[in-house]
Structure 1
Amino acid sequence: MSQKPAWLVAHGTPWKAGVERVAFESGWITVTEQIATAPTGRPAPYGLVRFKNLAVAVLPIHEDGTVTLVGQHRFPLGDYSWELPEGGAPLGEDPLAGARRELAEETGLAAADWREVMRAQLSNSVTDEQMIGYVAMGLSTAPGGHQADDTEAIALVRAPFREALDAALAGYLPDMLTVAMLLRGYHMAREGSLPGALSRAMLG
């Protein structure tokens, strides 16, 4: 990762948390309510979604420059989503272990070469969810194969990288982890951060 620019500094007074009340809790999230104090000094009612997992996303790149995508119905928006393999790693777990597990469970793939390439905050105005993204190369069949959990009805497709990227930028792959990781992969291929033959296959 590149060096942090000198102009990336905080300014002003930070938010101050108030007394939290748990409004809802599940195995995945806790929703809290509180009266916080804004940087301006004004009281501000705040609802906050706290996540019990770190989001992990995997960009699995095959030697021919194709990527494996996962298709499934998503409940919140009631739509069908093609996206990269992704899921949650419990807080305190090695995120790479979570990424390896998600790749194997959703696609039946294992990877010999893993590279952490991105960290991001997801919807940081109302949640504390964070993500780590990995590029996975040297792909092979995972021991045990595809093992989705009992709520996942998953389809798989192997698509040319540029087609997947173009589809994401056109809005056909709207999942933000997928968009971000495909753009990161494109940047790495253009900047020479991936093996030359693989970059050429991806950009071809």
Structure 2
Amino acid sequence: MSSLEEKTLHSEEIFSGKVISLHVQDVELPNGKQSKREIIKHPGAVAILAVTDENKIVMVEQYRKALERTIVEIPAGKLEKGEQPEVCARRELEEETGYVCENLELLTSFYTSPGFADEIVHVYLAKGLSKKENSAALDEDEFVNLEELTLTEAMKYVEDQKIYDAKTAFAVQYLQLQEAIGSK
């Protein structure tokens, strides 16, 4: 047990939605005092850095209500109950872009906002892409525009804040690093 650990004394779910739930917890701090924590529970997600044979990054432009604007992102989606991340990655890639891949490699996993949420995102690299004739459909409340960008174009999108989320910024930086060291 870490000397920094907070002991949960009481936890109450105050909201349960389609994607998240919100819990308020009473905790005992390392110094013996008590405090409250508001914790978002999330089933986890995947993100797919899909690169075509022409070295184009497959992205989707999508309206994000929380931001009140569209941004350009790598394809991503939440895990269904009991779904393995690799299965989810293949499903989301096909649903959002119409592509399927021959090769899928886990690059990393990271927590998006550990100060208040337990969401973990598993980032995959997809290569050997091909368009599927009758691909799976988007969710009924999901609308996207497909974009295929060079690394230079993606870097410009980051600069212009068209790419403005952590998972996609990570993907662009990953490719920059790979280019700099001459691999992948």
For normalisation by structure 1, the TM-score amounts to 0.84
Specify the alignment match of 1:74 in structure 2.
64
Partner of 1:16: 7
Kept in 2, the 8 Å contact 1:54–1:91? The answer is no
Q: Any idea what SS the aligned residue of 1:123 has?
A: coil
> Within the alignment, does 1:47 sit opposite 2:38 as a pair?
yes
Map 1:92-111 → 2, pairs under 5 A:
92-111=82-101
Which digits, 9 at most, give the CA deviation of each residue in 1:9-42, with x for residues without a partner?
x963311112111110012111011211223332
Per the alignment, residue 26 of structure 2 pairs with 35
Is residue 128 of structure 1 aligned with residue 115 of structure 2? no
Aligned CA distance change for structure 1 residues 144 and 125 (closer, same or farther; 3 Å):
same
Given that 1:22 and 1:30 are in contact with CA atoms closer than 8 Å, whether structure 2 keeps it comes out as: yes
Runs in 1 of length 4+ with deviation above 6 angstroms?
A: none
Q: Does 1:117 align with 2:81?
A: no
- The 1-side partners of 2:160 and 2:100 are apart by 30
Give the Cα separation in 1 of the matches to 2:136 and 2:71. 19
Structure 2 residue matching 1:182: 3-state secondary structure: helix
C-alpha contact (below 8 Å) 1:67/1:159 kept by paired residues = yes
TM-fit CA distance, 1:91: 4.7
> Which runs of 5 or more residues in structure 2 are unaligned?
none
Aligned to 1:25: 16
| Residues 158 and 17 (structure 1), Cα distance of their counterparts in 2 relative to 1, 3 Å cut | same
Gaps of 5+ in 1: 1-9, 195-204
Amino acid at match of 2:170: A
- Once the two structures are aligned, what percentage of the paired residues are identical? 25
Offset at residue 185 of structure 1 (A)? 2.4
Are 1:181 and 2:167 matched, yes or no?
no
Q: Does 1:162 align with 2:162?
A: no
State the SS of the aligned residue for 2:7.
coil
Q: What's the TM-score, normalizing by structure 2?
A: 0.92
Aligned residues: 184
**Bigger CA drift: 147-156 or 38-47?**
38-47
Q: Which range is displaced more, 55-64 or 159-168?
A: 159-168
Structure 2 letter corresponding to 1:119? S
How far has the Cα of 1:184 moved from its partner?
1.7
Aligned position for 1:199: none
Are the aligned partners of 1:60 and 1:135 in contact in 2 as well (CA < 8 Å)? yes
> Which is further off, 106-115 or 174-183?
174-183
For 1:23 and 1:185, locate their aligned partners in 2 and report how far apart those are by CA, in whole Å.
Answer: 41
